[in-house]
Structure 1
Amino acid sequence: MRLSTGVLLACLGLAGTSAVLSMGQGVGERTQFHHQGLEGALYRDVLGGLPDTVNSLFWGSGKCVGCHGEDPNELASIAGQTFPMEPMPNGWDVNVTDDWRSSIMANSTKDPFWRAKVRHEVITNPGHATGLEDKCTSCHAPVGHFAAHHDGAAYYSLLEALTDSLALDGVSCGVCHQQDAEGIGTRFSGDMTFVEDTIYGQYGGGKDEYPIQWQPMQSFVGFMPVYGEHMGRSESCAACHSLITSSVTLEGEYTGETVIEQATYHEWVNSVFESGPEQQECQGCHMPSIDEPVTIASGYAWLQPRSPYSLHYFVGSNTHMLRMLRNNIDSLELAATEAQFDSTIDRTLTMLQEQTLDLEAALILDDGLPRVDVLLTNKVGHKFPSGYPARRAWIEVQITGDDGNVLYHNGAWDAETGHILGQEDVAWEPHHDVVENSDQVVIYELVLGDVNGDPTTVLERAHEHLKDNRMVPRGFSSDHVVYDTTAVVGNALTDPNFNLDSEGLEGSGTDQVTYLLPEGWEENATLNVECTVWYQSLPPKWVAPTLEIEGDSLIDGFRQLYAEFAPTPERIATVNFSESTMGLDDRHTASLTAFPNPSQDGAVQVVSPDQLPIGAFQLLDAAGRLVDEGHCHSSTLRLALPTSGRYILRTEQGSSMTLIRD
């Protein structure tokens, strides 16, 4: 029999409780309590809006807040605590509950776009409603979903999730800390198993480590806390961060084929961070660790501080949704404050702008005509963007004159709608290595295609990937065993500057794009170049098919919120610089000749036909790194290109030319 999920237990362990009260009740003996909605609301208000209810597998996070929330005595969950503990009124509060509650993870069931998208999928294929809703709730409402299946249910519906106080707790404490270690890293698409009477944590594994004090948790909630080595491993994230779906035709018939909807975990596996000297787990970025000691539970004076301590930030990239949640706390019945959402938004922006991409750009003269070379380097441990396939990033290049007039603009976007200008009516934009006109925009994205090869935003209709040129992580290889799950698709496959180093080897995690600028630049003018990479989590083109459906309360509710919050992209990185066009006519590379070019062995001779000394020079590789520099006092310069690839030679007279070693 499934235990009631709309109930509250007696008021034990609320914030501020400093004594241990024994329940003496194991998990298998949990009792059903029947409180009315008002009573439950009053209790949740005391708990900061978090449910204190129980089902056959999980407690609500409100039960955890008593020990692992803010400590009113200012002893526990504060970084830098000593033993014996001393009050730290001005200390850094790192309690897990308050950091987690404003994350996308905590609000996975209350996410208004997720609710609307599930309805979109079900309305498109109503005959698949039970299967679709059951699959979607496995990761977005796991506390309700897995308890229902544990109790013998064949399916768990969206309606059940939205009326289940524990399901509305999102990806709460037990979803991670009760996940069984068996099979993790090999089970995907929301396939997880859980233990009933155990809580896994990161402490207690070392023989010299302070032993786990299990009595309070076992007595209070019936769980036995033990060391779980898998808690610190990326494999514990795999089940919900690699998703394979079954494909259907436009008529809703199953094709028998599957398609990768998202594969963030597998992208990490196919990276330099999975093993070796640069090994880094998912938790290392998304739950950053601090070395300051932290007493991890309040109310027990004998507990010793633990170190290191993982901050429960669960930082992602979806600032658009976080702002939408922050401004609709009451209507969406959220358990976080505006200040807590602001903290999560700030952390997210820091990750996006400081830990995501390196961006470089240079204005180069090639055969007398200017071009802009842009180099992106992926710094994250998976593709960028990653996760839900709506997400995209693009490059904007703008050149203005001294008078402020725009001379060139590529990748501009509409501040009111979030559309990339010129892309509104384009089905999808292919990948570009060389951009020859302003209509060709470099967009990093995954484009799903249906059985007819047309782009689709209906996830169940996805039959293939039409394009996947998202920035791959360093170390990414097409020879890796998981490449079939993480493949690059489209023009990026043949791009000689995509994920290839100067020797042509895979794994650089870079992409270099060349923008060929039109003729007609004024002499003796200064060009102001600004290059920006933008990121957008909910592009209007992706959302539009969902919003076309009218009369559904969840879709109508999201439509209103989306209209209030335009999908303004986030600025990931910007570089800007100014360069004069003085002597543009004299900077034609015909003034220099090079032979052989391309060179087989790297030996190249550069000659100035007018017999004037070449003077100071710099040799750069395709990534803009300095290879050689010096001063040539004659009209002939002999160079040795060290490895295969493209090089740029620049001289003090302003000449610039491309050299190639095969």
Structure 2
Amino acid sequence: MDVPLWRRRWWQATAIGFLAMLLICGGFLPRMTARSGGALVPSNPDPQTLELGRPSDLPLPSRVSVAQFEEKLFTFLNERQYVALGWRRDKSVRDTGPYLEGRSFGTHPAVRVYYSPGVIRWLLNGRAGTIPDGEMIIKEQYPAPAIRHRATLEGDLPYSLESWTVMVKDAAGSHDGWFWSNPAKGQRVVDNHVYPFADPISGFGLACIRCHAATQSPGAEPAHPANEFTFAALRNIEGFPGTPLTFKSDDSWRRGANEAKTEAVVKTAATADANLGPDPRSALGHPQSGAGFPSFFDAIKPVERAQLAVLPPVTHDWVVTNRDRSQEFLTANQCMSCHAGLLAPFGPTMFVPTGTNVEYGAEGWDVSPYGEWRWTPMGLAGRDPIVFAQIESEVQALCKQFESDPSRAGKLCATLADTCMRCHGSMGKRQFAIDHPDASNFSVDHIHEIADPAGHPGHGDAKYGALARDGVSCVVCHRMQPPAQPSSDHRPYLQYFLETANTGNYHLGKKGEIYGPFQDNEIASYAMEHATGLKPKQSAFLKSSQLCASCHTVVLPNVDRPLDHTDLSHQGDELTRGEVVPEFRKFHHHVEQATYLEWLNSEYENEIDLQNPRAKSCQDCHMSRGLKDETHGIDLAQLRSKIAVIQDTTYPEAENLVASDRLQVRTRETGFRRHNFSGLNAFLLEMFNQFDDVLGVPKTDYMTGSKQGIDHAVDHIARTARDDVASLAVTADWQGPNRLTARVVVANKVGHRFPSGVGFRRAFLELAIVAPAEPPRGPERIVWASGQTNDQGVLLGADGQPLATEFFARDPGTGRQQFQQHHEIITSPNQVQVYETLLRDAKGGFTTSFVRSCETVKDNRLLPRGWRREGPGPALTGRYLQATHPGPGASEDPRYQDGSGSDEVTYRIELPSAIDLSRLQVRATLYYQAIPPYFLRNLFETAPDGPATRRLHHLTSQLNLKGTAIEDWKLPITSARCTVKPQP
């Protein structure tokens, strides 16, 4: 049917009017958009004529302290001054990843980004060259997904704003050249150097780099200054052509109640109100140890916490990479960003949950390199309160010995502290020597150095303390390489290595390189090289026990036994010949620690017998492949995981990424090794667990939110002790009325002596004859025992009092100090089989000094399987071979000659006549003490006024071991029992 004429004309008029409206509005549209900072841009714009806004007047972050810059930055953000400055911004709030089933899979929440003028000019220039200093990228962050903000008016949008992530260009501050900040809305400046040591909100070298290192500027080499760190793209920005990336979003956000907060939101919220409440220490206080402590260690009166010399917190341990090629080291938090655990939404990676929760803060095992290293004696080596007290006692003794020659005493003290710092403050000492080749020694005082309040953590001279406190850190091991033997040196290489690379004198590889165990063609190296300037390369040395040897073969002088330089025989002594410190060449030397040498003289070595089928390197035992957790039913023989948590090809799409084949991070089906460095020093960890305010290491992991790291480290020690250290068997027979003979066989399962390392560590056997409980609920009764202790770990005699041998009391008859001999037969409760090394100084007194070990009185520590008196071959000879031999007493024991790594002790026991002999049980237990009571007493008596000694006294006196793995000051290793058959 024909349309009426009037209706056709009405449609024509309407169409013409609508077209006119479009033309009119189109004329005003550019001006309307310009008011919001987004004028349409011509196809070939001149950056100098565009209206891009005005720069900020913020100072460069590197020129003021972090707190001073944050004060200005947070005001700038909270007042949204960048809007008033007319900065270009994104076209709308946009997502950074999908939003599905109540969870954001974005790298950030929903965002809208503002760009300072210089950033826009750089983008218009094709992302070529470097962004000028002072330019900024400000990312406003809103609850995801972006669709929830689509209908929000511009004036109302700030009400939904939750936080920002900010990049400020400042090339002087770090290798990547950016200062990063992640404040919450309303953020105040947080002093994160105050307990509980919150993770930094702002700074150079923050974890943001783990994702931003995946970017690439056109044609730039990975480590070049022009290879910038931003994903910024013009298509996201108002006034420029193109459409921003979009991601799928379902409607689950409308329900709201079950939304999972992103990691970034949780972290930001956690720091927003830090320092605003009372100091948590005021509520927690410090635990209390047994009341008996003061009676055994009375050289120092109780020290209050306020009087302690506390260690600077790890928030000061912040040394980033920069473009100064003289810098060789950086702190572990720069590795943490990519080599820590990660949870949802892009994990779990290097994290094994113990429940169904995989969100930030979930319970589980952080098996990442950083997460486990943190709670090992390696990660804590630069903060070890026992080491600093030991150094203090050595210095005090030297000052007393050479009091008539203060100048010489000062030189020896400084040289000794410098020597200790080769391992315990390794990076700080090495960097100090690089920067000051003609300066004095690196001292313990450097450990306490922190940045001036007007500076940045780890900048200037403060970097030496920061690096030293970081202990045996990532780049200590991962930059090591074998020393090159000169062609004119004809010693066997192993001999050359031992004589030139002991006592922390390890060799570094080429500058700018960092080494790992995986083949070069199997690693995604781009992100590391971009982020740090370090190029990762494969090196077999990372799997060699020689990597560990430099710090676990320690040769030191005996300062109370000077050399007679008229006697030329000492010139052939390889220990003295290898001394690199002139001040120490005047003394006889000894091998203070021989763990690597002990391994060489065992059935596990593979550096002499390269094809040894039974070989196990240090790494094979001390870097676990799998994970066992009986409580949660976890038994993984081999962990399978990526070893880096960069923004790889599994992340949402983003602009300006490097080619995807350079971001392919493999899941390692084999070869993943934990950095748990299995050992037995639970005493050290308990101090850090209970006194984090004094020793400066917070217990919450930044990357995962886990609070269980140190607890899991102690659990692992207990499991290692139980399963991997030693085996024990016990049998018992009657030898006559009331006369019982029990035989205990202990076998060493580790690849070196047990105990090993520093000489004061000890293990001991407890043997108890037990009458079982009488019904219905009577207590069991110990009718005879050897090796019992009190709650301070002090060995007790038959009368329940400390044995005279515990503190080397002098025999009233002979005047000689008493000690526990190596026993093959024990007949009294006052005799205890203690596996230890005991040393005398030049005056004949027992000593725990590292530099006065003139005479070995006893060394019956359990030998490793395969030990041979003649050693494994001609490369291990002389004093180095002798250091693996048993000491007096044990050297005559057949068990210490047969290579079995075992010991047998026979107990001949006379039992009281008034007991029921028909229901007896024999129980044997092997215990371990990393810091035995006599060692502590020696420290406290030698330097009672020293700040490190007083600190250790406070820690040990207040340590609460009830219910821990080391209750009663001893770690159970293994136990066995047998029932005594009734007499015929």
Select the residue among 318, 327, 332 that pairs with 1:61. 332
**Structure 1's 332 and 524: CA in aligned 2 closer, same or farther, altered over 3 A?**
closer
1:328 counterpart residue number: 691
Cα distance between partner residues in 1 of 2:740 and 2:592: 41
2:448 counterpart residue number: 162
**Structure 1's 547 and 250: CA in aligned 2 closer, same or farther, altered over 3 A?**
farther
Cα distance between partner residues in 2 of 1:453 and 1:479: 30
Cα distance between partner residues in 1 of 2:557 and 2:770: 49
2:454 counterpart residue number: none
Residue 372 (structure 1) aligned with residue 729 (structure 2): no
**1:15-40 Cα deviation digits (max 9, x unpaired):** 465232579796999xxxxxxxxxxx
Give unmatched runs, 5+ long, in structure 2: 1-62, 67-172, 181-203, 227-273, 276-311, 353-357, 400-408, 450-464, 485-493, 564-582, 607-611, 627-637, 650-663, 701-706, 775-779, 797-801, 809-817, 962-967
- Is the 8 Å Cα contact of residues 15 and 72 (structure 1) preserved in structure 2? no
Aligned-residue offset at 1:14 = 3.5
- Is the 8 Å Cα contact of residues 78 and 92 (structure 1) preserved in structure 2? no
Counterpart residue type for residue 294 of structure 1: S
Counterpart residue type for residue 189 of structure 1: T
Aligned-residue offset at 1:530 = 1.2
Select the residue among 715, 720, 724 that pairs with 1:355. 724
Aligned-residue offset at 1:214 = 2.1
Select the residue among 860, 863, 873 that pairs with 1:472. 863
The alignment yields a C-alpha RMSD, in angstroms, of 3.3
Cα distance between partner residues in 1 of 2:331 and 2:916: 69
1:651 counterpart residue number: none
Counterpart residue type for residue 550 of structure 1: P
Select the residue among 409, 412, 419 that pairs with 1:135. 419
284-293 vs 433-442, which deviates more?
284-293
TM-score (norm 2): 0.53
TM-score (norm 1): 0.77
Residue 575 (structure 1) aligned with residue 575 (structure 2): no
Cα distance between partner residues in 1 of 2:826 and 2:905: 7
SS in 1 for 2:883: helix
1:531 counterpart residue number: 924
Residue 198 (structure 1) aligned with residue 513 (structure 2): yes
Residue 231 (structure 1) aligned with residue 231 (structure 2): no
Counterpart residue type for residue 581 of structure 1: P
1:445 counterpart residue number: 836
SS in 2 for 1:459: coil
Residue 300 (structure 1) aligned with residue 670 (structure 2): no
Aligned-residue offset at 1:461 = 1.4
Cα distance between partner residues in 2 of 1:372 and 1:413: 20
- Is the 8 Å Cα contact of residues 317 and 469 (structure 2) preserved in structure 1? no
- Is the 8 Å Cα contact of residues 340 and 350 (structure 2) preserved in structure 1? no
2:847 counterpart residue number: 456
Aligned-residue offset at 1:269 = 0.6
1:38 counterpart residue number: none
1:641 counterpart residue number: none
Aligned-residue offset at 1:524 = 5.3
Cα distance between partner residues in 2 of 1:292 and 1:495: 43
**What pairs up with 1:107-122 in 2 under 5 angstroms?**
107-122=380-395
**Structure 1's 442 and 215: CA in aligned 2 closer, same or farther, altered over 3 A?**
same
50-59 vs 380-389, which deviates more?
50-59
SS in 2 for 1:362: strand
Counterpart residue type for residue 417 of structure 2: E
**What pairs up with 1:596-615 in 2 under 5 angstroms?**
none
Structure of higher CA gyration radius: 2
**Structure 1's 109 and 416: CA in aligned 2 closer, same or farther, altered over 3 A?**
same
Cα distance between partner residues in 1 of 2:932 and 2:887: 21
2:307 counterpart residue number: none
Aligned-residue offset at 1:319 = 0.4
1:279 counterpart residue number: 615
Select the residue among 250, 261, 279 that pairs with 2:592. 261
Aligned-residue offset at 1:316 = 1.1
Aligned-residue offset at 1:13 = 6.0
Select the residue among 399, 417, 424 that pairs with 2:806. 424
- Is the 8 Å Cα contact of residues 418 and 569 (structure 1) preserved in structure 2? no
**What pairs up with 1:462-501 in 2 under 5 angstroms?**
462-480=853-871, 481=876, 482-496=880-894, 498-500=895-897
Aligned-residue offset at 1:564 = 1.4
Cα distance between partner residues in 1 of 2:314 and 2:398: 40
- Is the 8 Å Cα contact of residues 896 and 903 (structure 2) preserved in structure 1? yes
Aligned-residue offset at 1:582 = 3.0
Aligned-residue offset at 1:467 = 1.0
Select the residue among 377, 387, 409 that pairs with 2:785. 409
Q: Report the identity percentage.
A: 26
**Structure 1's 188 and 336: CA in aligned 2 closer, same or farther, altered over 3 A?**
farther
**Structure 1's 345 and 292: CA in aligned 2 closer, same or farther, altered over 3 A?**
closer
- Is the 8 Å Cα contact of residues 145 and 156 (structure 1) preserved in structure 2? yes
- Is the 8 Å Cα contact of residues 14 and 46 (structure 1) preserved in structure 2? no
Cα distance between partner residues in 2 of 1:321 and 1:27: 43
Aligned-residue offset at 1:372 = 0.4
- Is the 8 Å Cα contact of residues 371 and 516 (structure 1) preserved in structure 2? yes
Aligned-residue offset at 1:72 = 4.9
188-197 vs 228-237, which deviates more?
188-197
Residue 559 (structure 1) aligned with residue 890 (structure 2): no
1:221 counterpart residue number: 532
Cα distance between partner residues in 1 of 2:970 and 2:314: 35
**1:359-413 Cα deviation digits (max 9, x unpaired):** 0000023466420000001000010000111100011111123464432111111
Aligned-residue offset at 1:256 = 2.6
Counterpart residue type for residue 592 of structure 2: E
Report how many aligned residue pairs link the two structures. Answer: 552
440-449 vs 252-261, which deviates more?
252-261
Cα distance between partner residues in 1 of 2:538 and 2:684: 35
426-435 vs 258-267, which deviates more?
426-435
Cα distance between partner residues in 2 of 1:113 and 1:463: 23
- Is the 8 Å Cα contact of residues 101 and 335 (structure 1) preserved in structure 2? no
Cα distance between partner residues in 2 of 1:467 and 1:401: 35
Aligned-residue offset at 1:455 = 1.4
Aligned-residue offset at 1:347 = 0.6
Cα distance between partner residues in 2 of 1:279 and 1:363: 36
1:649 counterpart residue number: none
2:703 counterpart residue number: none
**Structure 1's 14 and 551: CA in aligned 2 closer, same or farther, altered over 3 A?**
same
SS in 2 for 1:373: strand
- Is the 8 Å Cα contact of residues 389 and 952 (structure 2) preserved in structure 1? yes
Select the residue among 532, 548, 551 that pairs with 1:240. 551
Give unmatched runs, 5+ long, in structure 1: 30-40, 82-86, 501-505, 584-662
- Is the 8 Å Cα contact of residues 76 and 295 (structure 1) preserved in structure 2? no
Cα distance between partner residues in 1 of 2:391 and 2:918: 55
**Structure 1's 129 and 77: CA in aligned 2 closer, same or farther, altered over 3 A?**
farther
